[in-house]
Structure 1
């Protein structure tokens, strides 16, 4: 199973994702509350996969994605977004995100995205 870093500025969203992932047998290696913390923790922990919120204080998810991919071009990042942020999703995919999931999270879709990204790359 995958070692995952969960990045979201909302603690309850991190908890919700952590619950879904751990119940499916994945390990949540670490969490971050903003993009800057995500970049630091990625360097320190080197998770197999990152779930990254797009909209956060300090540093947005897309900037954090760019920095992580600069350090590690093979980084596997799934973006998390609210409904109606299609422009940001396209921008994230263009910057190397492997997939995206929409809030509120649906367990099946979260696990489908994780499986797809872990198997295909």
Structure 2
């Protein structure tokens, strides 16, 4: 039960924050640099696949071990931020290396966002799950 709470709490935080971040931080930068390549509406299946998989990986490498070992929340944030840097950095640096109109501004914006989003989501997920576990 704890794993289910952790997964869905982390997912909810990640989705909520990513909606805000994509809308107000990332999208304006990407529209400025590659606006003609962007879809009017995102594709739900690939988005769902990414979110479901990324949260599962975040839990596997960061959140679940943190709950088991009672790691401090600073370590949870740091480990999740590093995983976010790897995930978002792989995407961004690959695009910068291979795509004509990709810009350094896009790379920095998205990597910083991925670091923040991953760190905060894992931190809140672990913190909230600990609180729920104490209440039950």
TM-score (norm 2): 0.27
Q: Which has the larger radius of gyration?
A: 2
Which of the two has greater strand per residue? 1
RCO higher in structure (CA 8 A, sep ≥6): 2
TM-score (norm 1): 0.30
Which of the two has greater helix per residue? 2
